[in-house]
Amino acid sequence: MSSITEEVSVKGRVSPSDRIVNDPARISRTSADHEGRNFLVLALYQITMRTGWIFKTESIVMPAVLDTITGGGPFGGLLRGCLPILNRLGHSIPPILFSRRLKVRTYKKMVMLTTTLVMAAVYMLLSLLWWQVGTPMPGWMAGVFLLLYFLFFVATGINNLAFDTLQGKLISVNNRGRQLLIANVIGAATAIAAVAVYMPAWLTPAGGRFEVIFGFTALCFFVSAALVILLGEPGDTYREAGQGVRHLFASAWEVVRTDHNFRRLGWVAMAFGASLMLFPHYQALGRSDRLGLSFVDIATWLIIQNIGTMLFSLVAGPVADRHGNRLVMQGVMLGISTMPIMALGISHLPMWGPTLYPGVFLLIGLTPVGFKTFNNYTLEISSHEDHPKYLSTLGLCFALPLLLSPLIGLVVEMIGFEAVFIGVSALLVIGWLMTFRLLEPRHVDFDEALVTVVPEDD
């Protein structure tokens, strides 16, 4: 028999994310043997998902769809403001509740497969409903739309948790930036091509053939689900006793309370999350009397937004691999903080405003890069077995500011865009400044762990 005494010497009080060893070979030997194949499958999964996702983007398409159902006005603005909170609640609460189940699951890819199929089924149902009901929409359609929208993001939240956990399990840390680059650049290119070919035929100045748009999205998601089956994932043997809902939230709070670096990250994530409150309103500002743009312009906005994602990924991926995710996060926060001010400024240019306004959506392309960067940073500051807990807690931080989103929608419709846009921009600047207090895990110095094995007599 033997007992192992482990002594780690560090300076001062050190949180789990301070101690994390940034070893590119942290994945298992079996995962390393299949890394090339899994890298390709996960990249193809993201490319296919992105191609379908562009036809339902939260910043442009879905708010415009809801405006078509409600007809706009204060009530329409209130419901439009519900979209971000339903989005982020789905991204945050279900992952917290599911994190232990995912941790003890032998094969995480089965969770990813199931949730992708649910996401596809939701959009297939929306397509059938739109085809059967037609326009003008009955009053009950807004409620059904919001319910299905929330269900979709419940599945998406768990799906993202499973995907990021799988990425931490199957892809070494120095290859994650390259995967971000490949998936976002090729995914944006295929998405742009799909929009350029199909969207002009599916949109009119007054609305669009959303039954076809939603059907195409569902098809792409079904293809993505099929790709998950090709992943080569070694089984896990983690064990953790089941505990109540209260404990799960207590566990998330414990991460925030004990890990001071993650606590700083949480504040930055909340500032980033505040920017999402404005997403439904950028398209509303574009289609307002100030600029006089219409549904036909949505195709252009979608293309420009994905060009932005592609261009920013070309820079973000290599920078993240070489210099760390913190530097990319700083660039993302700074870029997004300028977006509300830019939108307001352009909207007050009667001659050039309609021409320049699509440039706002170029910066919105930073958002998916930002989410992936936050997630990759979190994977680096937490141990493998704690990835689900840390990622789900991060999702909760993103969601908290969005509790104000319905109120923001109502305020925008009642008093205008200026006060809200300027306030959110100020919060983003504060978040950007806070990124400079985050640790870069690849540069953290700590004393080598001393492991002493002391034999014992039987």
pLDDT at 20: 44
Percent of the chain with pLDDT over 70: 87
Question: Rounded to an integer, what distance in angstroms lies between the CA atom of residue 205 and that of residue 293?
Answer: 9
d(CA 88, CA 100): 20
User: Strand 450-455 relative to strand 2-7: parallel, antiparallel, unpaired?
Assistant: antiparallel
pLDDT (tens digit per residue) in 344-397: 999 999 889 889 998 999 998 899 899 989 998 998 888 877 887 888 889 889
Reported as a single tens digit per residue, the pLDDT across 421-453 is 999 999 999 999 999 999 988 776 433 433 333
- Nearest CA-CA partner of 119 in 91, 100, 143: 91
Whole-angstrom Cα distance, residue 312 to residue 368?
A: 10
**DSSP letters of 106-124?**
S-THHHHHHHHHHHHHHHH
What local confidence, expressed as pLDDT, does residue 452 receive? Answer: 35
Written as one string, the DSSP assignment of 403-440 is GGHHHHHHHHHHH-SHHHHHHHHHHHHHHHHHGGGS--
Instruction: Convert the pLDDT of each residue in 233-285 to its tens digit.
Output: 887 777 766 666 677 778 888 888 889 999 999 999 999 999 988 888 888 88
Question: What's the CA gap between 344 and 113, in Å, rounded?
Answer: 42
Q: What is the DSSP letter of 234?
A: P
End-to-end Cα separation, the chain, in angstroms? 7
Domains and CATH numbers, the chain: 2-455 (1.20.1250.20)
Structure confidence by residue, pLDDT tens digits, 51-67: 999 888 877 788 878 88
- In angstroms, the CA 214 to CA 217 distance is 5
Q: pLDDT per residue over 285-328, tens digit each?
A: 888 888 888 777 888 888 898 898 888 988 888 898 888 899 99
Q: Are 433 and 9 in contact (CB under 8 A)?
A: no
State the Cα–Cα distance between residues 398 and 84, nearest whole angstrom: 11
pLDDT value of position 115: 96
Q: Is 446 exposed, middle or buried (0-12, 13-18, 19+ CB in 10 A)?
A: middle
